[in-house]
Amino acid sequence: MKRNTIRTTVATVAMLSLALAGCSAKATGSQDNTTTGGLKTGPGVTDTTITVGSLATTTGPAAVVGKDVVEGQQLALKQVNDAGGVCHRQLKIELRDTAFDPQRAVAAYHELEPSVAGFSQLFGSAPTAALISSVESDKVLTIPAGFSADLLGYQHLQIAGGAYDIDMINGTFWFANKAGLKAGDKVGHVYIAGEGGQNSLAGSKFAAQKLGLEIVPQEISPTATDVTAQVSALKAAGVKAVLITGIPAALASFVGVAAATGFKVPILATAPSFAPPLMATPVAPALETIYVASPLPSVASDSTGVKDFVTAYKAQYPSGTPSQATLIGSVMFKMLVSGLQDACKANDLSRDGITNAFRKISRFDTGLGTSYDFTNPKKAPSNSTYILQPSKTTVGGLKEIQSATTATALAEYLASKK
C-alpha cells in the first residue's frame, strides 16, 4: 500500500495546486507531438533544446543548502552540454526560487509545467507533498531534493538515494556502537515536522527497538532556528545521545546551546542538517565532535569520481566550496538526464517516453562510487549510508569516517514496509 503523503498541514496548498492546474496552459505545451524526423516529443523539447524545470530554494531559511543544490545542477548542466547535450539538443534549466514555501512552489510549478520535459529538482518536503498529485497527473518526471520514504511508490517521482529512514537505521546502528550505547539507554531525536521528519523518526525508532534503546522524540518546525527548549528537555530526560533531523540553523543552535550548557552527549545528524558555512561560525569546534549520516560520500573522498567532481566544481566556481548538497544536486540532474538519454534511444521524448525509459534503468552510475536502481518506484534506489564528520580543514567541511555501510537489520525493516 502506498504511504500516506499529503498531510493535513498542506491540504490548503494542495487545493491551490488543483485550482491552478485547472488554469494552466495545457493546450500550449503539455500535449505530445511528433517531429518530422519521426522522434516523438513532448513539452520542453524543440529541435535544438530540451528545457527542464527547477523548483529551487535560494532564499529563506534553507537557502544555505538550496544554493548548493543549484550549483551542483548548474555544474552538471555544463558537463552534459559540453559533451554534446542530449539527443543532439542542448539542455536548459528554468529555475524558480520557492523560498521553501509550498504556495510559491505550487505557483511556480504550474507556471513551468507546460513548457518543461521534467523537473531536475523540487526542494522541500512540504512543497513536494503539495505537488505530488500534479506531478503524477501531468506525468512529468521529477527529482525531489529530499529523501523521505513517503516519496516512494510514485511512477514519476524519484528520490536521489537512500531514504531518511534508511540512513537513520544504518546510521544509528553504527552510532550506537561508536557511542557505547547500552540496552535501556535513552536517545533523543530532534526532528522536523512533516513527512521527512516522521520518516527519519520511524527509522530511529526501529533501530532503537532492535538495540534495546528508548527514543525521546522532540518535534520542531521545519524552519526552526532556535532549539534551546529541546536541548533543555533532552538534558532533563537524561538522554545518552542525540539524533538530529533539521535544517543547518537548527543543528547549529542545538550544538551551540548544548556546548554552552555543558550538555556533552554524542550527536548524529542527517545529511541535510549540515552545511559547510557552519564551520565558519562560533559553533565549529562543537560541530567537529558530531557525526553525519549521508546517502552520498564526502566531497573529500579519495574516490576518483568525487575527485573529478571537485576539480570540475573548482573550475566553474573558483571561489566556492563544494558540499554534500552540491554533490546531491549534480546527481539529481544526471538522474533526469539518464532518463532523457534512454528516451532518445527509444525515439520517444514524450512525457511517457521519458518516464518509461527512466524506469528501465537498473544500474545508474552516480560517478561517486555507488549505483542506483530506478526500476521499482516503491524502493529507494540505494540502501547504503556513509558516516561523515565535520572538519574545518577538509574540503566541503566533512571527512569520511565510514564508507558505504548497510545495517543487517535493514532488510527486516524494508520487508515490513512492502
Percentage of the chain exceeding pLDDT 70:
91
Q: What is the pLDDT of residue 369?
A: 80
Q: Evaluate if residue 5 carries a pLDDT over 60.
A: no
Cα Dmax for the chain:
71
Q: What is the pLDDT of residue 99?
A: 93
Q: Which domains, ranges and CATH numbers included, belong to the chain? A: 8-161+305-372 (3.40.50.2300), 164-294+385-416 (3.40.50.2300)
Cβ atoms of 159 and 135 within 8 Å: the answer is no
Cβ atoms of 348 and 135 within 8 Å: the answer is no
Of residues 51 and 28, the one with the higher pLDDT is 51
Spell out a b/e string for 99-119, using b for 16 or more CB atoms within 10 Å of the CB, else e: bbbbbbbbbbbbebbbebbbb
Average pLDDT across the chain, whole number: 90
Cβ atoms of 17 and 110 within 8 Å: the answer is yes
Stated length of the chain: 418
pLDDT tens-digit readout, 83-124: 999 999 999 999 999 998 999 999 999 999 999 999 999 998
Q: What is the pLDDT of residue 412?
A: 96
Q: 304 burial class (0-12, 13-18, 19+ CB within 10 angstroms)?
A: exposed
Q: What is the pLDDT of residue 18?
A: 37
Q: Report phi then psi at 222, rounded to 5.
A: -60, -20
Distance CA 235, CA 227 (A): 12
pLDDT tens-digit readout, 244-295: 999 899 999 999 999 999 999 999 999 889 988 899 999 999 999 999 999 8
Q: What is the dihedral of CA 117, 120, 124, 126, to 10 degrees?
A: 20
> Which residues, 6 or more positions from 294, have their beta carbon under 8 angstroms from its beta carbon?
167, 270, 271, 324, 385, 386, 387, 388, 398
pLDDT tens-digit readout, 154-182: 999 999 988 999 999 999 999 999 999 99
